[in-house]
Structure 1
Amino acid sequence: MHAPQLLKIAVVGPESTGKSTMAKQLAEHWNTVCVPEYARYYCQHLNNQYTLQDELNMYYGQIALEESLIPLAKDNLLIADTTIMTIKIWSDHLFGHTPEEVLREIARREYDFYLIMDIDLPWEDDPLRDFPEDRPHFLEVWKTELNKLKASYSVISGQGTARSENGIAAVSRFLNSRFR
């Protein structure tokens, strides 16, 4: 008998779009674990002065955090508040390229479904956020990168409870399609 395959749902998108809130809501709804965004912990003392080495450190930290939480996934469902694709997007934006090891792991590390959080929420200032005027650009970058991977995703819009209901509904549709 085979163990059921772990399904990984990733919540991604531009800054200040409710990714962490959505990821926590999904994990709570399905009573499973949420992998937090490692970069939020890492960047607290960098004062927005990032190096390519910092991006690599966040890459390794995100992978280690995700791997350490996989055993806690209930019903073979893991929710991730971002993925290492974020490292590629920021490395390309800030430094003009992405280290090869990151690119290789992005190609290898699969997620079953993505929620891209839309930019229809107002910007909330936070010391770890940098580019409020570039959210439309980053939304398109996320779509482009996921399309390159031929990833399955939904863009999640809405305010307040409508946003969380839209996210839960999108994941429900995905899960139902897997088990038909």
Structure 2
Amino acid sequence: MEKIPQQRALNGLKIVLFGPESTGKSTLAQQLATHFNTVKVDEYARDYLQDKFDATGKVCEYHDLMSIAIGQRIAENEAVEKANKHLFCDTDALETFIYSIVYFNKAPLELEEEARQSKYDLYLLLHVDTPWTPDDLRDKPEDRNEMFQMFEKGLKEFNKPYTIISGLGEKRFENALKAIQKISN
């Protein structure tokens, strides 16, 4: 199988929007990219898994994880070339790793190693204080607090710099900006 490409460096800040499903990661990534006049990296798994679901009716399977991690890294590396001092990543290998543990009680070794080695300046861990929005792929509305705790535990265990972001709408955006400004100075 193909390996996860090496992560390209950015002369600026790489920030991951991180946390459980339906917490506004994609929305906030777009808002931040617009504010900083830069690009964002979309969540590769979303399109990959939606296409799979539409074609087969199946959701994520263990053998999909490496393809997702590879696709996410390729998209990130391509975005580095277009980024303007900031790059906002809607997920990363650590998020894929955590979902692997939650759903399969195991993870590919290469995925775990990549999650440990990946370098980002900040993770914005989005709190579960937003309304749940169902779709074809989301399946844990009753487990949101437990999932949040799993994501925070992962950040701690992998020694990643993070800030918890809460609040609704404009307040969530303002809280994210404050966290970014703290590391920009």
TM-score (structure 2 length as normaliser) = 0.88
Gaps of 5+ in 1: none
Match of 1:162 in 2: 171
Structure 1 residues 54, 31: closer, same or farther in 2, change over 3 A? Answer: same
Q: Distance in 1 between matches of 2:93 and 2:10?
A: 24
Match of 1:120 in 2: 129
The number of residue pairs the alignment matches comes to: 173
Match of 1:105 in 2: 114
* Counterpart among 11, 14, 18 of residue 8 in structure 1: 14
Gaps of 5+ in 2: 1-8
Indicate the RMSD between aligned Cα atoms, in angstroms.
1.5
Match of 1:63 in 2: 73
Residue 46 (structure 2) pairs with residue 36 (structure 1): no
Deviation at residue 6 of structure 1 after TM alignment: 3.6
Q: Distance in 2 between matches of 1:170 and 1:7?
A: 12
Kindly provide the amino acid, as one letter, of the partner of residue 13 in structure 2: L
Post-superposition Cα deviations, 1:94-152, rounded to whole Å, max 9, x if no partner, equal: 11111011011112111110101100111011112111111111111111111112221
| Identity, % of aligned positions | 39
* SS of structure 2 residue aligned to 1:14: coil
Moved over 4 A (4+): none
Match of 2:3 in 1: none
Q: Distance in 1 between matches of 2:107 and 2:42?
A: 22
Deviation at residue 11 of structure 1 after TM alignment: 0.5
Deviation at residue 172 of structure 1 after TM alignment: 1.3
Deviation at residue 7 of structure 1 after TM alignment: 2.0
Kindly provide the amino acid, as one letter, of the partner of residue 68 in structure 1: E
Structure 1 residues 13, 54: closer, same or farther in 2, change over 3 A? Answer: same
Q: Distance in 2 between matches of 1:79 and 1:67?
A: 12
User: How do 1:74-153 residues align onto structure 2 when only pairs under 5 Å count?
Assistant: 74-75=84-85, 77-153=86-162
Kindly provide the amino acid, as one letter, of the partner of residue 61 in structure 1: G
Structure 1 residues 48, 129: closer, same or farther in 2, change over 3 A? Answer: farther
TM-score (structure 1 length as normaliser) = 0.91
* SS of structure 1 residue aligned to 2:124: strand
Kindly provide the amino acid, as one letter, of the partner of residue 66 in structure 2: L
Post-superposition Cα deviations, 1:51-91, rounded to whole Å, max 9, x if no partner, equal: 1111121111111111111100112x211011111211111
